[in-house]
Amino acid sequence: MVRFDNVGMRYGIGQEVLRDISFELPRGSFTYLTGASGAGKSSLLKLMFLAHRPSRGMVELLGKDISRLPRPGLPELRRQIGVVYQDFRLIDHMSVFDNVALPMRIAGSPPDEVDAHVEELLSWVGLADKIAATPPELSGGEQQRVAIARAVIARPRLLLADEPTGSVDPDMGDRLMHLFLELNRIGTTILIATHDVAMMERHRAPVMRLLRGELVVNRPGGLF
What digits encode the pLDDT tens for the residues 119-143? 999 998 999 999 999 999 999 999 9
102 within some domain = yes
Higher per-residue pLDDT: 172 or 146: 146
Residue 132 lies in a domain: yes
In three-state secondary structure terms, 46 is helix
Does the residue 86 lie in any domain? no
**Which of 40, 57, 2 shows the shortest CA–CA distance to 24?**
2
Integer Cα distance of 139 and 133 in angstroms: 11
Instruction: Examine residue 100 and state whether it is found in any structural domain, yes or no.
Output: yes
Name 97's Cβ contacts closer than 8 Å, sequence gap at least 6. 118, 119, 122, 131, 132
Gap between the Cα atoms of 59 and 43, Å rounded: 13
Asked whether residue 69 is assigned to any structural domain, the reply reads no
Tell me the mean pLDDT in the region 39-56.
92
Q: What is the pTM of this model?
A: 0.90
pLDDT digits (tens, 9 = 90+) for 153-183: 999 999 999 999 888 888 888 888 989 999 9
- Structural domain that includes position 104: 91-147
Answer yes or no: is 113 within a domain.
yes
Cα(205)–Cα(104) distance, integer angstroms: 29
Q: The sheet that has 56-61: what strands, in order across it?
A: 16-25, 2-10, 56-61, 64-65
Phi, psi of 52 (to 5 degrees): -155, 155
Q: Report the number of distinct structural domains present in the chain.
A: 1
